[in-house]
Structure 1
Amino acid sequence: MENIKLHTIPILNAVDSIARNSGSKIGVLLGTKEENSVSIWNSFELIIGDSLSVDFDFLQDRLEQFNSVFPNLKIIGIYSIETSGKQDTKTIHILNQLLHYKSLEDESSSNLLLLVVRSAKCLDTDSPLVESYYYNGSLVPVKITATADETEHASIFTVTRKGNFEPNIKDNNSSSITKSQKNNNELLMAIEKLQLKMSDIIRFMDQRSTQNADDTLINISNNLVYLARKIHQFKRYYTADHDNKQLSTSLFALLTQELGALENLKTQISKNIVRYEIRTNASGRFE
């Protein structure tokens, strides 16, 4: 029996689908599969046509985007947001399409995981709110364990335990308060800058290659170096204040995780730099 672990991002994506629209939603579960263990790390919604056909062009584009940053993630299964207590027949139809698609990509693949999440409209039924199955022509119930890695746990624990991270106004040490505010502002600015650069990367990946692509690659690479230096500065100016320490630990862990993803992308950028023969000057900056 395989040990199936469900991490927090797919859960948050499912909750977001329920919050945005009361209708049924179906998405892909991405994760890693080992000999006796399956870990579900991420997910995204599918586009379903009027004839219940999966938009495989969209699916392939999204998978390429994820694989450029997280090359180890593969299709593990699908999640379905149901608005009734009965099993939706269209979910089985979509499962069959994805099972065929996956078999073309990986001949060793023989089944998919189905995670059924029922919305609040189903509270008056006897059906459980969450169900999980393996599907290979028929549904076989399986057990899934919700889990979190250290970064996810630190974020959740900090938010639930400390809802307010403002400095203690009763503290007589005004210089300590000022220093905490300064460090928090620097951290916030760096995270906002990282978010902007991630948006640039996503826009670049969504667009077709153009003559100006080299300049975009150079700008991304230079900002990766800048963000790496900012992390070193955070370590130097780290404060011992309890509330701010917990907040900084959580945000720093998230920033480090995002930087790791960007480093994976940087490898791809380096390959493109070699391919397009981009030169550097004596100071090491791109020309």
Structure 2
Amino acid sequence: MSAMDTDEVSVVLASNATSGLSLSLHPLPILNISEHLTRLKLQKNSSNPFVLGALLGTQNGREVEIVNTFELAINEGEGEVVDHDFLTSRRDQYKQVFPSLEFIGWYTVAPRPIARHIALHEQFTRYCSTPLLLLLQPNGSTITPDVNAQALPFKAFEPSIEIRERKSRSIFIEVPYTVETGEAERIAVDWTARGGGSGTSLESHLQTQRSAVKMLHERIMLLVKYVTEVIGGQATKDHATLRALAALVASLPASENKEFRQEFETEYEDVQLTAFLSSLTKSANILNDLVDKHLVMTAGRDDNRGPRRRGMGRQGGIPGPDWGDRH
């Protein structure tokens, strides 16, 4: 850590100011930031990638709620300069869907605020006078061992100005927060915790099948070992076991059995055909909905166009062609 970074950290820790904000953090931003960090680790094959995003929420006086987030881009070749065109575009898109949400801050991943974050913070003041900073601390590090420390590895900070020796400098003041969840959010979080849909169910099913096949393979190898030792005279013959083993082998379909191969191929083709018909039915349903929507949209247009078409035969008293007499 550079000397400048150390100085900025000491400034944040040395400040005794307390924030008067009442901050509420919803589960969706927690999930989004965690997923953002995990995805960048895999994409960049790095244990500490640079993570940057925007916070969306509502503010009523000193009461602030962080409701949603979206990722931000950095202009390449210009250092850590935020792509403001991308930020404005994404903010306006969210505004169209969620009119009550405003840009209230930004998030990143770091153990504690440093000078790098103060420089980034100044780029967001054009969108919000006092943008909040939400830090994800993946290593579980804490800034102060206070009694209000949160169980989650997140720290929220409010920007402020500190005056020392007739000089002002930017600092961050830690803001305590509470996790706020609605009924719909509790259902979504529970759904995510239980696996998040059919993908995890399929994985669980495949794991069960794998364990069953593995157990079957181990038992087959045990029987093969027993027969080998009996043939080699290393094990005592158990005629009951050998008769049961011979009956089991006789009941198995031989690999060269044409009837077994034909039956297997028939079942495989039936499964493939069922999957194809399911996909075809789904596509036909989507197409049917699209046609219905098209008919609804064009119905009023055709009704308005009809009377004008019938009145085009005579305009301004000038006889026009009688369309009804044409064959």
Q: What are the Cα deviations for residues 174-232 of structure 1, in whole angstroms up to 9, with x where unaligned?
A: xxxxxxxxxxx9xxx7xxx7xxx9xxxxxxxxxxxxxxxxxxxxx69939x9xxxxxxx
CA distance in 1, matches of 2:35, 2:90: 19
Q: Equivalent residue for 1:58?
A: 86
Q: Equivalent residue for 1:255?
A: none
Aligned-pair CA distance for 1:48: 1.9
Conserved 8 A contact 2:29-2:68: yes
Of residues 266, 276, 293, the one that matches 1:222 is 293
Of residues 95, 101, 117, the one that matches 1:73 is 101
- Shift in alpha-carbon separation, 1:221–1:23, aligned structure 2, 3 A: farther
Code of the residue aligned with 1:63 in structure 2: it is: R
- Shift in alpha-carbon separation, 1:61–1:162, aligned structure 2, 3 A: closer
CA distance in 1, matches of 2:99, 2:56: 11
Code of the residue aligned with 1:40 in structure 2: it is: I
How do 1:1-287 residues align onto structure 2 when only pairs under 5 Å count? 1-21=20-40, 22-49=48-75, 50-82=78-110, 85-99=111-125, 101-102=126-127, 110-119=129-138, 122-123=139-140, 127=143, 129-136=153-160, 137-158=170-191, 160=193, 222=293, 280-282=301-303
CA distance in 2, matches of 1:86, 1:161: 32
- Shift in alpha-carbon separation, 1:33–1:92, aligned structure 2, 3 A: same
CA distance in 2, matches of 1:164, 1:43: 23
Code of the residue aligned with 2:101 in structure 1: it is: L
Partner SS, residue 157 of structure 2 = strand
Q: Where does the alignment leave 5 or more consecutive residues of structure 1 unmatched?
A: 103-108, 167-184, 198-218, 226-272
CA distance in 2, matches of 1:133, 1:10: 16
Code of the residue aligned with 2:171 in structure 1: it is: S
Partner SS, residue 107 of structure 2 = strand
Partner SS, residue 36 of structure 2 = helix
Conserved 8 A contact 2:27-2:189: no
Partner SS, residue 222 of structure 1 = helix
Code of the residue aligned with 2:301 in structure 1: it is: T
- Shift in alpha-carbon separation, 1:57–1:146, aligned structure 2, 3 A: same
Which structure is larger by alpha-carbon Rg, 1 or 2? 2
Aligned length: 172
- Shift in alpha-carbon separation, 1:126–1:66, aligned structure 2, 3 A: closer
CA distance in 2, matches of 1:51, 1:161: 41
Partner SS, residue 280 of structure 1 = helix
CA distance in 2, matches of 1:47, 1:61: 12
TM-score of the superposition, structure 2-length normalised?
0.45
User: Quick one: higher RCO (CA 8 Å, sep 6+), 1 or 2?
Assistant: 1
Partner SS, residue 61 of structure 2 = coil
| Superposed structure 1 runs of 4+ greater than 6 Å apart | 161-166
CA distance in 2, matches of 1:221, 1:139: 56
Identity %: 27
CA distance in 2, matches of 1:73, 1:164: 28
Q: Equivalent residue for 2:234?
A: none
Q: What are the Cα deviations for residues 49-99 of structure 1, in whole angstroms up to 9, with x where unaligned?
A: 3421111111111112111111221111111112xx343422211111111
CA distance in 2, matches of 1:88, 1:96: 13
CA distance in 2, matches of 1:135, 1:16: 26
- Shift in alpha-carbon separation, 1:161–1:118, aligned structure 2, 3 A: closer
TM-score of the superposition, structure 1-length normalised?
0.51
Q: What are the Cα deviations for residues 113-144 of structure 1, in whole angstroms up to 9, with x where unaligned?
A: 1111122xx35x55473211111432111111
Conserved 8 A contact 2:74-2:80: yes
CA distance in 2, matches of 1:221, 1:45: 37
Partner SS, residue 94 of structure 1 = helix
